[in-house]
Structure 1
């Protein structure tokens, strides 16, 4: 029939999960990302984000946690689905006419504290934390995924309590400030305004305990009060 649109076959997909795993090194004021070196083609011997193809009977989130467990040991972390990347030709294994197998990447981002994250090198010859500003050209479209993940992380810190999933149960306001300053840059807020605003929101509870760090006065330890935060949940809220 003249004028009718051509009919294309349905795409056959393989689904992968790629993790953007950030760690915060507050001692050296560095935001790091975990990279691994590919052991097979395509992009053999190139750095990339930790990833995997999803197994039969496995959920996307389970695949993301599996990758985390294979690469690092950590007690406190934050994990969230980031975005789905599925542009035609994003993976060299796709057929030139794109009518063969397509490769989707459902990306996740995670945040951990550097001192608490132990790398697991089993079966991996290349695995390393890279400062965000020194990341090389990565395999596939992983530089784009990393950039997207970094923007999401900054937004999450500004508008949600993600930092408290990463910090220990008890922490000082200085610990919290250093985490924010490492990710967002030291010019995001001065410590005094940061402290005043966070305490005014009312969901940080003073434990009554203090800790000594250096030669200064002992600092109070706080806890995140999830019950006090509940009324703010799902409402626009600026933390900083």
Structure 2
């Protein structure tokens, strides 16, 4: 038995960590009924020429959230977005730069989850060989463990839509119930609720304010335009399955 305060010599050395921030940026193309994720083609090793999530190593004096915002503003230009920390991926050997020659350096990925409006998003392609939206059901082979990060992020997106107002962060200020329903069915599937039940439940919950305005689209009856009322939603915050 070793003396108190003396580390046994057979214990592994403490790891030396580098921290990256990788951001899963989702968007919803309701016209083509697709959930999309933003991918970039890496220009540098490791995995040069392969698709990956937008990411960066955290700089000296930079917070994780600042690094995540830096990734966003360097790759995409939007007016409305939702951003939150997702999960930390830190298994050994997840990064090929972890080798005996790196003197035990480990690479952690603190992932973030973002949702942006598809219609307004503009790409910024500086520093990458390519940038594109990919449907989550048609993801190509990715660098690192980014496929796993996307799977985790997509499940978070589905969960967030069920109990939080995240959708209203990326909808226009005013919208029709049909616009909202289309977003939900694109992400959750058409079987999550029929339109009539969805409409009845939402209006009963009382956090959608009727603007008194109408939207005319095609030859159909003009649809009412609503606005999200954050104050009215506050009592429902964090209650599960609000919309189902």
Superposed pair shares fold, TM > 0.5? yes
SS in 2 for 1:116: coil
Return closer, same or farther for 1:84/1:6 CA change in 2, 3 Å cut-off.
same
Deviation for aligned residue 1:124: 2.4
SS in 1 for 2:85: strand
Once residues 67 and 35 of structure 2 are traced to their aligned partners in structure 1, the CA distance between those partners, rounded to angstroms, is 24
Q: Find 2:77's aligned residue among 73, 76, 81.
A: 73
Task: Report what 1:199 is aligned to.
Answer: 203
Q: Find 1:130's aligned residue among 134, 143, 152.
A: 134
CA contact (8 A) 1:159 1:238 kept: yes
Once residues 187 and 54 of structure 1 are traced to their aligned partners in structure 2, the CA distance between those partners, rounded to angstroms, is 41
- Using the size of structure 1 for normalisation, the TM-score is 0.95
Q: Find 1:175's aligned residue among 165, 176, 179.
A: 179
CA contact (8 A) 2:98 2:105 kept: yes
Deviation for aligned residue 1:178: 0.7
Q: Find 1:27's aligned residue among 27, 31, 48.
A: 31
Once residues 113 and 230 of structure 1 are traced to their aligned partners in structure 2, the CA distance between those partners, rounded to angstroms, is 23
CA contact (8 A) 2:81 2:116 kept: yes
Q: Find 2:161's aligned residue among 157, 160, 163.
A: 157
Task: Report what 1:16 is aligned to.
Answer: 20
Once residues 233 and 99 of structure 1 are traced to their aligned partners in structure 2, the CA distance between those partners, rounded to angstroms, is 47
Alignment of 1:1-240 (within 5 A): 1=1, 6-96=10-100, 100-240=104-244
Once residues 100 and 140 of structure 2 are traced to their aligned partners in structure 1, the CA distance between those partners, rounded to angstroms, is 27
Once residues 140 and 241 of structure 2 are traced to their aligned partners in structure 1, the CA distance between those partners, rounded to angstroms, is 35
Deviation for aligned residue 1:57: 1.2
Structure 1, unpaired ranges of 5+: none
The Cα RMSD (Å) is 1.6
Show structure 1 runs of 4+ deviating over 6 A.
none
Deviation for aligned residue 1:8: 2.2
- Using the size of structure 2 for normalisation, the TM-score is 0.93
SS in 2 for 1:200: helix
SS in 2 for 1:56: coil
Deviations 1:91-110 (A, max 9, x none): 01012599611000000011
Return closer, same or farther for 1:10/1:225 CA change in 2, 3 Å cut-off.
same
Greater Cα shift, 97-106 or 64-73: 97-106
Once residues 108 and 201 of structure 1 are traced to their aligned partners in structure 2, the CA distance between those partners, rounded to angstroms, is 30
Once residues 46 and 201 of structure 1 are traced to their aligned partners in structure 2, the CA distance between those partners, rounded to angstroms, is 46
